[in-house]
Structure 1
Amino acid sequence: MRIRFTAEVYEWAARPNWFFVDVPSEPSADIADRPRMPRGFGAVRVTATIGATTWSTSIFPGGETYALPLKRAVLRAEGLEAGSTARVELEVHDG
């Protein structure tokens, strides 16, 4: 399953210097509906791409959407900060 979306980068209020983008609600619902082996915190393995940067990570459920954590190296490489808009492509591996 591949998903493409644009989302705003935000800093997690509970942990300064942790940055995320949220997967929109419709694709999040599609991801949640797919059967998969249970993983810690409900995580789902993905390969994420923003700009020229691709990395393996997991997305995490939070309410009605999943959150994609952004590594500091990704932020630097793509010139992103809180409030920036990121064009994201996810390849969902679980399910």
Structure 2
Amino acid sequence: MITVTSALCVWNGEKGSWHFLTVPADQAVEIRLATISPRTGFGSVRVEAAIGDVRWRTSIFPQKEGGYLLPVKADVRRRTEIRPGDEVTFTLDLV
């Protein structure tokens, strides 16, 4: 299990907005070592994420800097009452 604290960020694109949390490169070493075998599209890695008691399965996506992005859907944001800019502690388990 990997525990991270990160600010909830928003990326606005032409087709909508994405909310995500960042796993910094120094905390992503365990993920990279555990997923040396071929990954799925875009190099994504399947995980079970949790914020407090709210758990969901999703994929994290690699960043050029060596970290990963965890997308956070609207349902999860509502259930955990988090908003952009909030510092959020979350956990990841590789699936």
Is the shorter-chain TM-score for this pair beyond 0.5, marking a shared fold? yes
Q: Which amino acid aligns with 2:28?
A: S
Q: Which runs of no fewer than 5 residues in structure 1 stay unpaired?
A: none
Q: Which runs of no fewer than 5 residues in structure 2 stay unpaired?
A: none
Greater CA drift, 39-48 or 17-26: 17-26
Instruction: Tell me the residue number matched to 2:58.
Output: 57
State the distance in 1 between where 2:45 and 2:11 align. Answer: 19
> By how many angstroms is 1:17 displaced?
2.8
RMSD: 1.4
State the distance in 1 between where 2:39 and 2:53 align. Answer: 31
Query: 1:68 aligned to 2:70?
Result: yes
Identity %: 34
Q: Give the ranges of 4+ consecutive aligned residues of structure 1 lying more than 6 Å apart after TM superposition.
A: none
Q: Write the mapping of 1:1-95 to structure 2, written as runs, cut at 5 A.
A: 2-14=1-13, 16-34=16-34, 35-63=36-64, 64-93=66-95
TM-score (norm 2): 0.87
Matched residue SS, 1:12: strand
> By how many angstroms is 1:85 displaced?
1.1
TM-score (norm 1): 0.87
